[in-house]
Amino acid sequence: MADPMKIRATAKDGMTEVKILMSHEMETGQRKDAAGAVIPAWYITEVTAQHNGKTVLQAEFGTSVSKNPYLSFKFKGGAKGDKILVSWVDTKDDKRSDEATIA
Amino acid sequence: MNKQRRNTLKSASGLGVLGLFVAAGLIKPEMAMAVEDKKAFDAKSMTEAYGAIGSGTPVASKEITINAPDIAENGAVVPVSVISRLGKTQQIYILIEKNPSMLAAAFTFLEGSEPEVTTRVKMGQTSNLHAMVKADGKYFFATKEVKVTMGGCGG
C-alpha cells in the first residue's frame, strides 16, 4: 500500500476547495536506470473525489502528470465537518483511499 | 462470555470490511463511463488524441484560461491550471503537444463541481499546452506555450 495522500478541504462562501497531494512515483516508462534497462511505466490512472458519498470529480491521468501528483478543484456546497473521500488506482492495480474532513 | 463478545466484535468488523467492498463496488459504474478515453492516453499525435477522445477538431475559445508559467525551469514539475467559463462544462483535458504521451490528464466534472482544476505536469521540452474543454457536447480549446529550460522526461 502506498503512502497516504494529503488532503485539505476548506469551505468558504458556499464553495469547497479541495487540495490533494498524492504520493506516487508516476514512472513514464521512458526512463532508463543506471544499467540502461527501461524502468517500466507505473502511474496513477484514475482518481475519484467524493463528497459525502457523492462523486464530485473524476480524473484520469497519463504519464505526463508529475511525480507525487497535485490536484486541486472546487465544488459548490459542502459544510464544515463533511467528509471528502479521495481514491486512486494505478497501473499495478494498487489502490488507495483517504478521507478528510472539510475545515 | 468473554469469548462470545470477542466473536461478536470479529463479525462486526467483518461486516465493516464488507461494507467497504460494497462502497468500492458502487464507485465502479461511474468510473466505467470514462474508460473509452483510455486509448487517448496512448495517442502519438494530436489528431490521434482527438480521434480517440472523439472530439473531432475542437474550436478555439477565449472562454478557456490556462495558467502556466511562460518559462518553466524544471520540466518535471510544471504547474498548470485550467479554468473554463463555458456553460455546461463537462470535461477538461490537458494535452502537451510535444510529449511522448500527449494527453496528461482528463477531468470529468460532476454536478456541483466548478470547471476549474489545478495540477502539475511533466514537459520534455518547450511545447504548447492545450486545454480542451467539452461543454454541452461540443469541444473547445485554448493553447499556451511554455518554454522549458530543463526537460522533465530525461533518461
Per residue in A45-79, pLDDT (tens digit) is: 999 999 998 999 999 999 999 999 999 999 998 99
Tell which phi-psi region holds residue A53, choosing left (phi > 0), alpha (psi between -120 and 50) or beta.
left
- Do A70 and B30 make contact, defined as CB atoms within 8 angstroms? no
Has residue A5 got a pLDDT over 70?
yes
CB contacts, 8 Å: A21 with chain B: none
Query: Structure pTM?
Result: 0.81
pLDDT at B20: 46
B66 and B28 in a common domain: no
- Do A69 and B104 make contact, defined as CB atoms within 8 angstroms? no
Distance CA A56, CA A74 (A): 9
- Which residue among A32, A64, A77 sits closest to B104, beta carbon to beta carbon? A64
- Name the band, by pLDDT with cuts 50, 70 and 90, for residue B18: very low
pLDDT at B151: 61
Q: Which domain holds residue B26?
A: 1-32
Q: What is the mean pLDDT of residues A83-99?
A: 94
List all residues 6 or more positions away from A34 whose beta carbon is below 8 Å from its beta carbon.
none
Residue B113: other Cβ atoms inside 10 A = 24
B58 and B129 in a common domain: yes
B16 and B84 in a common domain: no
Examine residue B85 and state whether it is found in any structural domain, yes or no: yes
B45 and B22 in a common domain: no
B44 and B24 in a common domain: no
Examine residue B65 and state whether it is found in any structural domain, yes or no: yes
B67 and B24 in a common domain: no
- Name the band, by pLDDT with cuts 50, 70 and 90, for residue B153: low
B57 and B24 in a common domain: no
Most A-contacting residue of B119, B127, B128 (CB-CB within 10 A), to test interface: B119
pLDDT at B6: 56
pLDDT at A99: 94
Residues in chain B, how many? 155
B58 and B10 in a common domain: no
B26 and B101 in a common domain: no
CB contacts, 8 Å: B153 with chain A: 28, 30-31
- Do B27 and A77 make contact, defined as CB atoms within 8 angstroms? no
List all residues 6 or more positions away from A75 whose beta carbon is below 8 Å from its beta carbon.
A15, A16, A18, A51, A56, A57, B112, B113, B114
Per-domain boundaries in chain A: 6-101
Has residue B54 got a pLDDT over 90?
no
Examine residue B155 and state whether it is found in any structural domain, yes or no: no
User: A6-101: what CATH class?
Assistant: mainly beta
Q: How far is B19 from chain A (nearest CA, A)?
A: 13
Instruction: Note whether ipTM > 0.85 here.
Output: yes
List all residues 6 or more positions away from A95 whose beta carbon is below 8 Å from its beta carbon.
A87, A88, A89
B108 and B53 in a common domain: yes
